[in-house]
Amino acid sequence: MRKVFLSYNPPSIGEGERTEVMDTLASPWVTTGPKTKAFEVALMGYMGASGVVALNSCTAGLHVGLLAMGVGPGDEVLVPSLTFCATANVVEHVGARPILVDVCPDTLTLSPDRVAEAITPRTKAMMPVHYAGHPVHLDELDALAERHGVMMLEDAAHAISTRYKGRLIGSRSNLAAFSFYATKNLTTIEGGCLTGEAKLVDRARIIGHHGMSRDAWNRFDRSGSWYYEVVLPGFKYNMTDMQAAIGLVQLGRLEQFQKRRREIVDRYMLGLSGCDALELPIEKEWASSSWHLFVIRLKPGRLRVDRNRFIEVLKSRNIGTSVHYLPVHMHPYYRDKYGYRPQDCPVSTDAYERMISLPLHPGLSNQDVDDVVEAVTDLVREHLA
């Protein structure tokens, strides 16, 4: 058994990030300024996006994205139940109603069949989540959106470097919101961005910066002007140069990070392939996952321990894990306000009860991965039904 606890997903921060932060601290700009702009340009070049605005979180991107699209009271927005609560919360924030939709049994991404059933004349938008880094069925969702006049805002919190049929998520004209939280494949510690058609992104930028007609750093720069106007009541969602400094270095390391993630996934797949009591994650032939998460599911009736006990035993063996996620329809707020029951989204409910996210980050050594595999396979062998 391991002697040192293996953390589930710490950030990969190196000397380059520390140097850039110190450089920023020594500059005239620590809040939104030239490094934030440079980060936006770099993201635009990496993704091939026509517009990018850097923000202080993915949640901010989802919020201003909905507002930029004109979603508001009386509208319905389709949201997968198996997602972090922020995806649904922002719909509440704009006064619309989140309609919770079940997911596909294999990829755990938004089910096009369930979307087709959930669309009504009040449906204004859908927010598919690229769960664990695996892309949703974009062609099928696009067809439904076009047929019913529904807009799309992709929750790409897990999806930096994810590709759908060879094309990077974030390169399309519809809006997509990314997370750069501490656990993500690329981190700015806290932060995110919104990509999409330049006109929509420009509107989102204004909404996310107090509704002001120009950025603060432009106002105070030598080439800028002190004068600004508020064109709408916005929010303070801007990214800082401190965050962007880290992001610029992280973006340069992303290819290396992703190469290591895939090596780790391959090692997990090989080591766990003989455990018939486990359901391993998949990658469709048309997909290239970012592998933000490695989620296993315990097969029903195959073990004498449940998911919670499985996690406790792994922790006792110094293996950190997590669960992604308690489905939105099971949270008290959404359950009580809208009357959702566990059986309303049966795939999400079933997956939640059986899932465990194993450690996955570029800092894992081969020995770390082997320790996880050994702990999981030992546990399965000891508790086979």
pLDDT tens across 28-83, in order?
889 999 999 999 999 999 999 999 999 999 999 999 999 999 999 999 999 999 99
Q: Which residues pair with 358 in a beta bridge?
A: 294
pLDDT for 37 equals 96
pLDDT for 351 equals 98
Region 180-202: what's the mean pLDDT?
97
Range scoring the smallest mean pLDDT among 24-33, 89-98, 221-230, 280-289: 221-230
Please identify, in words, the CATH class of the domain defined by 254-382.
Answer: alpha beta
* Cα–Cα–Cα angle for 85, 354, 159, rounded to 5 degrees: 45
At residue 215, does pLDDT exceed 90?
A: no
At residue 281, does pLDDT exceed 60?
A: yes
User: Which of 341, 312, 332, 43 has its CA nearest to residue 196?
Assistant: 43
- CATH 3.40.640.10 domain locations along the chain: 15-251
Rounded to the nearest 10 degrees, the angle between the axes of helix 86-93 and helix 58-68 is 40
Residue 228 — pLDDT band, cuts 50, 70, 90? Answer: confident
At residue 300, does pLDDT exceed 70?
A: yes
pLDDT for 328 equals 98
Range scoring the smallest mean pLDDT among 155-169, 197-211, 223-237, 246-260: 223-237
Average pLDDT, the chain: 96
Residue 213 — pLDDT band, cuts 50, 70, 90? Answer: confident
Region 137-154: what's the mean pLDDT?
98
Region 109-138: what's the mean pLDDT?
98
pLDDT for 326 equals 98
Residue 1 — pLDDT band, cuts 50, 70, 90? Answer: confident
pTM of whole model > 0.75?
Answer: yes
- CATH 3.90.1150.10 domain locations along the chain: 254-382
Region 16-34: what's the mean pLDDT?
95
3-state secondary structure the chain: CCCCCECCCCCCCCHHHHHHHHHHHCCCCCCCCHHHHHHHHHHHHHHCCCCEEEECCHHHHHHHHHHHCCCCCCCEEEEECCCCCHHHHHHHHCCCEEEEECECCCCCCECHHHHHHHCCCCEEEECCECHHHCCCCHHHHHHHHHHHCCEEEEECCCCCCCEECCEECCCCCCEEEEECCCCCCCCCCCCEEEECCHHHHHHHHHHCECCECCCHHHHHCCCCCCCCCECCCCCECECCHHHHHHHHHHHHHHHHHHHHHHHHHHHHHHHHCCCCCEECCCCCCCEECCCCCEEEEECCCCECCCHHHHHHHHHHCCECCECCCCCHHHCHHHHHHHCCCHHHCHHHHHHHHHEEEECCCCCCCHHHHHHHHHHHHHHHHHCEC
Rounded to 10 degrees, what is the CA torsion of 237, 242, 243, 246? Answer: 170
Q: Are strands 151-155 and 175-179 parallel, antiparallel or unpaired?
A: parallel
Residues that are catalytic: 184
pLDDT for 217 equals 55
Residue 223 — pLDDT band, cuts 50, 70, 90? Answer: low
Residue 214 — pLDDT band, cuts 50, 70, 90? Answer: low
Whole-angstrom Cα distance, residue 328 to residue 334? 7
Buried b (16+ CB within 10 A) or exposed e, 344-375: bbebbbbbbbbbbbbbbbbebeeebbebbbeb
User: Which of 181, 342, 344, 360 has its CA nearest to residue 280?
Assistant: 360
Residue 229 — pLDDT band, cuts 50, 70, 90? Answer: confident
Whole-angstrom Cα distance, residue 16 to residue 213? 34
At residue 334, does pLDDT exceed 60?
A: yes
Region 332-351: what's the mean pLDDT?
98
Region 199-213: what's the mean pLDDT?
93
Please identify, in words, the CATH class of the domain defined by 15-251.
Answer: alpha beta
